[in-house]
């Protein structure tokens, strides 16, 4: 930049005083003016409130009346000893792992099938994408009905003769404490796998046909092409999908709230539900803030490496 300016001053001496008066160029000024409102809004409404939540999690606000007595990490200490929170962390881990694996698997499978130049491709694509248009609340209510043991899926399975004659031995789905959160995974996967399919489909369409042709010429089987050529090229898509799915699963609230609630023995409980209950039913505002910070920490574990990765690739290019 500097060099350009110097050259300009040398070439056009008349412009010299003007540049000295305005060290920031006009374009720069305009761009600052245009982005500053949004920077300000984000600073206050995102980072400001994160900072306030962090502060509340370190004080003794344990009733309706705010109490800003500093207690250090006491709230976190109590939180990690809490039985319900321990169950929540396990549930979140199970949910996140199963949800991501199932969405990626099903999404990739559907995308690969759709990429076979089949008839009515647009129709199928839309069918698989449609669940995404529904809110998690609706998904939750519908799947609650579907997976209630005495109705829905069990009646279909029973009609097919797949279930025990004694209704008491039918699968309990989310009401079964050992199955619990996995039932929520089913509903979440139903909703999100179409989205992953769309991402993969876009990725597949972006891979030039020449690469496949070249591999075929080299004598690779279709499976080898997929395994050695296509799959590695889809890696950035997989990474994006994992980030998107991961942060959804860590923050999930609406789906469990409408589908199951905390569940028997908290078998379908998640940290966000606990946060809601402890803050608004129990008035433990500091504990609620501590849960929020723990959630933020987990999400950052996922997001920050991604941002660093992105930053590095941008610098390289």
> Interface with another protein by CB under 8 A: which residues?
26, 29-30, 32-33, 36-37, 39-40, 43-44, 48, 51-52, 55, 62-66, 68, 83-84, 87, 144, 148-150, 168, 172-175, 177, 260-267, 276-284
For the CB of residue 47, give the shortest distance to another protein in the complex, in Å.
Answer: 9
Spatial neighbors of 198 by CB under 8 A, at least 6 apart, are: 111, 125, 129
Q: Residue 280 CB, nearest distance to another protein (Å)?
A: 3
With respect to another protein, which residue has the nearer C-beta, 231 or 280? 280
- Closest CB to another protein among residues 2, 178: 178
CA 172 to chain CA mean position, Å: 28
Judged by beta carbon, residue 66 or residue 105, the one nearer another protein is 66
Rg (CA), the chain: 27
Q: Phi first, then psi: what are they for 287, rounded to 5°?
A: -65, -40
Using the minimum distance from each CB to another protein, give the nearer residue, 154 or 249: 154
Kindly state the smallest distance separating residue 271's Cβ from another protein, in Å: 14
Closer residue to another protein, CB minimum distance, 174 or 190: 174
Smallest gap, in angstroms, from Cβ of residue 257 to another protein? Answer: 9
Lookup: tokens for 86: 């321990």
Phi and psi at 59, nearest 5°, equal -115, -175
CA 75 to chain centre: 27
Q: How far is the CB of 195 from another protein (least distance, A)?
A: 28
Tokens of 11: 């070439």
Token look-up 């001496």 returns 13
H helical segments located in the chain: 2-11, 16-21, 26-42, 49-56, 74-81, 83-114, 121-129, 136-147, 153-159, 181-205, 209-217, 222-224, 231-233, 235-251, 254-259, 271-276, 285-316
Q: How far is the CB of 48 from another protein (least distance, A)?
A: 5
CA–CA gap between residue 208 and residue 230 (Å, rounded)? 10
Report in angstroms how near the CB of residue 197 gets to another protein at its nearest.
Answer: 31
Q: Considering the complex, state which of residue 56 and residue 106 has its C-beta at the smaller distance from another protein.
A: 56
Nearer to another protein, 236 or 265 (CB): 265
């Amino acid at each position: 930049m500097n060099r350009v300016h110097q050259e300009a001053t040398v070439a056009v001496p008349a412009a010299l005083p003007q540049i000295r008066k305005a060290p920031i160029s006009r374009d720069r000024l305009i761009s600052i003016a245009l982005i500053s409102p949004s920077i300000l809004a984000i600073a206050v409404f995102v980072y400001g409130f994160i900072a306030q939540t962090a502060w509340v999690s370190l004080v003794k606000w344990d009733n309706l009346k705010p109490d800003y007595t500093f207690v250090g990490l006491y709230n976190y200490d109590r939180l990690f000893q809490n039985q319900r929170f321990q169950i929540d962390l396990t549930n979140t881990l199970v949910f996140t792992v199963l949800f991501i694996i199932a969405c990626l698997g099903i999404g990739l499978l559907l995308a690969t099938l759709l990429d076979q130049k089949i008839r009515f491709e647009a129709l199928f694509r839309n069918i698989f994408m449609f669940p995404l248009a529904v809110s998690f609340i609706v998904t939750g209510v519908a799947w609650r009905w579907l997976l209630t043991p005495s109705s829905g899926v069990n009646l279909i399975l029973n009609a097919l003769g797949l279930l025990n004659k004694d209704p008491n031995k039918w699968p309990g789905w989310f009401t079964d404490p050992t199955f619990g959160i996995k039932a929520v995974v089913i509903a979440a996967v139903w909703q999100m796998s179409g989205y992953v399919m769309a991402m993969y489909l876009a990725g597949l369409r972006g891979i030039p046909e020449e690469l496949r042709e070249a591999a075929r010429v080299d004598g690779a089987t279709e499976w080898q092409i997929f395994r050695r050529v296509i799959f590695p090229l889809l890696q950035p898509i997989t990474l994006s999908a994992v980030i998107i799915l991961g942060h959804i699963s860590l923050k999930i609230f609406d789906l469990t709230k409408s589908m199951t609630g905390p569940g028997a023995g908290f078998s379908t409980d998640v940290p966000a539900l606990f946060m809601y209950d402890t803050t608004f039913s129990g008035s433990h505002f500091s504990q609620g803030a501590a849960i929020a910070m723990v959630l933020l920490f987990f999400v950052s574990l996922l997001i920050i490496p991604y941002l660093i990765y992105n930053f590095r690739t941008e610098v390289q290019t």
